[in-house]
Amino acid sequence: MIGYISDNLLLPILDFFYGLVPSYGLAIIALTVVIRLALFPLSAGSIRNARRMRIAQPVMQKRQAEIKSRYANNPQKQQEELGKLMKEFGSPLAGCLPLLVQMPILFALFATLRGSPFADVPYTLNLKVVPAEQAAAIETKPFNSASHSIFVTSTNHVPVIASLEAGNKLGVGSRETVSLHTKDGASFASVLDGVENGDAFSPSWSVTKGEGVVSVDQNGTITALSPGDATVEAKIPGLAARSGFLFIRALGQVGFMTDGSVNWDIAGLVGAFGATLFLSQILSGMGMPPNPQQSTANKITPVMITAMFLFFPLPAGVLLYMVVANIFQALQTFLLSREALPENLQAILDQQRAQQTVTVAAGPGGSGGRLPFEPKRKK
């Protein structure tokens, strides 16, 4: 499904925007905005539900405890009353369904931005080599990799598959050539024949695991050397992988560190991701009564996720998408936080605010509180 959405929905949109403005960086931004607008109703439902649950949760927990205690010996009545409670305030799980519905599209968008034209596309072939005397017992079954759309020009992309006709189990001494071809059977080499500078898209071959088990030449021919497991990788260059945008040196660049030097453009993108995530979380608490635990989580979570992405290898194009998506999410959260609440929730929120005001007034700085340096009063 993810590949189908990518090939038939996201890449055509990408082609359209690149045709309007020949910049892959701007095309990423436009594609992200279009997808986020399309998913607006679903994500808005999740944001609204989270906001309402944040207000209603203390009351719901209290009433759930009362219902379970009152009807402990009557499970049927207990379920009936709990159902009424959910009908009154809504279910905490209601915000999960919109997220589940939009996940395939978001995964497809993520996969699209990690592939051609924004990054080099790897085809990974996991192989098993057995002794020559066992080769006769190997069942010949063709092996096909997943299909990836490869851009050979800015407006032309073709789905390409890597295949081993004899399968990925080899006997020692055997030689098999990996076939890169389109879905209709045309070889990838024939596709490149009519492309200007087609040699630039020729795949590079390497053994990434088990160098003593197999070898591979630059024509994609694998030679089985000794029994064991091995992995061969073919990598097709991405058309825009080395194209820059604004302060980004290359959209396909991966990693915070390269050969001991810091990639400051990647660091800037990761920092922007953390800042926009923090902003979105702060906006989600607008108009809510202070919650120390939630406030701490809002500060720690962006730091943890940002630190993770410093060392998680994502192409710069994907990070650009994540920053734009976070900005869109923050704007959406700000707008939805200004919506009027249902009367029952507004009443609860007003009561929570009033209690917070009383607590603050009675605290150390209020008229009813005791200053830190004051002695305890005797009863």
Q: According to the model, what pLDDT value does residue 379 have?
A: 44
Strand partners, 161: 181
Residue 76: pLDDT band by 50, 70, 90 thresholds?
Answer: confident
Residue 288: pLDDT band by 50, 70, 90 thresholds?
Answer: low
Q: According to the model, what pLDDT value does residue 373 have?
A: 43
Q: 224-256, pLDDT tens digit by residue?
A: 888 888 999 999 888 877 777 888 877 877 766
Judge whether residue 216 has pLDDT over 50: yes
Specify the range with the lowest mean pLDDT, choosing from 128-132, 137-141, 213-217, 294-298: 294-298
Q: According to the model, what pLDDT value does residue 290 have?
A: 59
What's the rounded Cα separation, in Å, for the pair 309 and 296? 21
**Model confidence, pTM:** 0.68
Residue 40: pLDDT band by 50, 70, 90 thresholds?
Answer: confident
Determine the residue type at 172. V
∠ CA 234-255-309, nearest 5°, is 120
Residue 115: pLDDT band by 50, 70, 90 thresholds?
Answer: confident
How much is the average pLDDT of 74-79?
77
Query: Of the candidates 332, 317, 328, 327, which has an alpha carbon nearest to the alpha carbon of residue 10?
Result: 317
Contact (Cβ atoms closer than 8 angstroms) between residue 359 and residue 291: no
Query: Of the candidates 122, 127, 195, which has an alpha carbon nearest to the alpha carbon of residue 160?
Result: 122
What's the rounded Cα separation, in Å, for the pair 379 and 365? 21
Q: According to the model, what pLDDT value does residue 289 have?
A: 61
* Residue with token string 């030679």: 223
- Which among 151-160, 199-208, 358-367 has the top mean pLDDT? 199-208
What does the mean pLDDT of the chain come to?
77
Strand partners, 150: 158
Q: According to the model, what pLDDT value does residue 371 have?
A: 42
What's the rounded Cα separation, in Å, for the pair 216 and 176? 9
What's the rounded Cα separation, in Å, for the pair 69 and 78? 9
Instruction: Give yes or no for a cis peptide into 142 (omega within 30° of 0).
Output: no
Residue 259: pLDDT band by 50, 70, 90 thresholds?
Answer: low
Q: According to the model, what pLDDT value does residue 292 have?
A: 58
Judge whether residue 217 has pLDDT over 80: yes
Q: According to the model, what pLDDT value does residue 374 have?
A: 45
Q: According to the model, what pLDDT value does residue 98 have?
A: 65
How much is the average pLDDT of 189-205?
82
Contact (Cβ atoms closer than 8 angstroms) between residue 252 and residue 118: yes
Contact (Cβ atoms closer than 8 angstroms) between residue 284 and residue 51: yes
Beta-carbon count within 10 A of 365 CB: 9
Residues of the chain with pLDDT > 70, as a percent, come to 79
Sequence-distant (6+) residues with CB within 8 A of 96 are 46
Extended beta strands in 90-227, E state: 121-130, 143-144, 148-153, 156-164, 169-171, 175-177, 179-182, 204-209, 214-216, 221-224
Contact (Cβ atoms closer than 8 angstroms) between residue 45 and residue 98: yes
Extended beta strands in 81-203, E state: 121-130, 143-144, 148-153, 156-164, 169-171, 175-177, 179-182
* Residue 295, token pair as written in the block: 């406030």
